[in-house]
């Protein structure tokens, strides 16, 4: 498969009567976009604003973040969701880099997040660095939580497509090419390089904790092999309201940091065989079935090494270490990427499960780490929502000072387990 991404680097976003990209500036006619979004069933009202890095602006509660793009050649949109089912991962797409669509509105579940564009909060979220077009979505009263989530998810995806369309005829500043052939072809080209598979665990637990692949709820799949280009091209989207720090937003799927790094090393240090999407189920029977199948699939593909990334924490920790144990016992070297839930002082057991085979583990941070966020000059959304988010509590927001105290749990992308975040460590 060959996918070309035409990168259009945006320096600023401006509301205008005419939508266009000119001299690095994205001009957006928000009234046109609002009108089209309000045609979506169950939408009551849409408003759109934007905020830039460094502004003392707080966005909360954030549902999802999406990168605006337009397919110039090949299957368009988020196939199986916003468009008909088609093969993603090939063709040409124009990408509005440095821009993100951020959806907010009435809270869907109790686990959504906050983005601060400045100060202490900005240090922890990668989306403090993007030019954020914030879409505030109000839905009809009386919707069930799953209907509410579906409506908000669809509105965000549609908004990103409408904004992406503005760049349809733009000339890219740079073109990035992602290409990997069939396994037979790649094995023939690189017979001496270690074969590596990337296993990406997806939250798949109902109760607004779901991912989607070509529109199919990940609860309904067995572990599935996809070409890495498919995920980079929008085949995997977020539909969950899990803890904000490590929920994988749609933007992060579109720019999966593990896939990007494996691509850089493909043909040089490793032979990258593909991505296995693995559901994280709630039942013990489901966990055994999924973990057995994942290990069998990787082994059958001939993997010498496997990287496994988690989404969420708690009971998915068991899936993580069970996959590791099975692979290591089959002779397949395995590296895990996970965050830790180690308490405010960092001294609690970091994972809910352990395995003697799990000796190569990359930590993306402690979800329980407490941060203090300054008062915002402007709030997009409702900052009191922090008290109902995972990582917040009654009194998290001081009404008198406007300051917020919360765990990283509540900060979007703070401990992303695919590595798309700002947390780093210093080795001495």
Q: Report helix, strand or coil for 409.
A: helix
Biggest CA-to-CA distance, the chain: 66
Compute how many other C-beta atoms are within 10 angstroms of the C-beta atom of residue 80.
Answer: 19
Alpha carbons 368 and 74: distance in angstroms, whole number: 43
Decide if 373 contacts 403 (C-beta within 8 A): yes
CA 154, 311, 65, 375 torsion-angle sign: positive
Residue 241 annotated in active site: yes
Is the CB of residue 423 less than 8 Å from the CB of residue 365?
Answer: yes
Say which of 241, 298, 341, 406 is annotated catalytic: 241
Peptide bond connecting 379 to the previous residue in cis, omega within 30 degrees of 0: no
Q: What are phi and psi of 131, to 5 degrees?
A: -80, 110
Rounded to 10 degrees, the C-alpha dihedral 102/105/110/114 comes to 40
Catalytic residue list: 241
């Amino acid at each position: 498969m060959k996918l070309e991404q035409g990168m259009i680097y945006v320096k600023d976003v401006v509301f205008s009567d005419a939508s266009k990209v000119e001299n690095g500036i994205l001009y957006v006619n928000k009234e046109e976009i609002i009108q089209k979004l309000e045609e979506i069933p169950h939408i009551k009202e849409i408003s759109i604003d934007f905020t830039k890095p460094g502004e003392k602006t707080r966005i909360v509660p954030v549902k999802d973040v999406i990168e605006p793009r337009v397919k110039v050649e090949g299957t368009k949109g988020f196939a199986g969701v916003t468009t008909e089912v088609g093969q993603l991962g090939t063709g040409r797409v124009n990408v509005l880099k440095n821009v993100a669509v951020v959806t907010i509105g009435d809270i869907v579940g109790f686990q959504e997040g906050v983005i601060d564009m400045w100060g202490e909060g900005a240090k922890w979220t990668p989306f403090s660095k993007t030019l954020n077009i914030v879409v505030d979505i109000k839905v009809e009263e009386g919707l069930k939580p799953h209907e509410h989530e579906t409506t908000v998810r669809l509105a965000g995806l549609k908004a990103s497509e409408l904004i992406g369309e503005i760049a349809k005829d733009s000339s890219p500043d740079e073109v990035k090419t992602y290409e990997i052939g069939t396994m037979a072809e790649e094995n023939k080209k690189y017979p001496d390089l270690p074969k590596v598979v990337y296993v990406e665990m997806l939250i798949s637990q109902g109760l607004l904790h779901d991912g989607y692949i070509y529109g199919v709820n990940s609860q309904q799949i067995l572990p599935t092999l996809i070409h890495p280009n498919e995920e980079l091209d929008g085949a995997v989207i977020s539909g969950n309201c899990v803890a904000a720090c490590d929920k994988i937003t749609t933007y992060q799927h579109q720019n999966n940091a593990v896939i990007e790094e494996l691509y850089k090393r493909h043909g040089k240090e490793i032979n990258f065989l593909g991505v296995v999407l693995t559901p994280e189920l709630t039942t013990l029977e489901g966990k055994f079935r999924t973990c057995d199948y994942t290990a069998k699939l990787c082994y059958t593909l001939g993997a010498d090494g496997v990287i496994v990334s988690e989404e969420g924490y708690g009971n998915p920790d068991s899936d993580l270490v069970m996959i590791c144990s099975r692979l290591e016992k089959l002779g397949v070297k395995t590296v895990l990427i996970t965050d830790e839930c180690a308490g405010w002082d960092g001294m609690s057991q970091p994972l809910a499960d352990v395995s003697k085979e799990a000796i190569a583990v990359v930590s993306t941070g402690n979800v329980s780490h407490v941060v203090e966020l300054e008062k915002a000059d402007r709030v997009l959304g409702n900052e009191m929502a922090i008290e109902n988010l995972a990582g917040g509590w009654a009194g998290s927001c001081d009404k008198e000072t406007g300051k917020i105290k919360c765990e990283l749990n509540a900060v979007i992308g703070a401990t992303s387990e695919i590595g798309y975040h700002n947390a780093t460590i210093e080795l001495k």
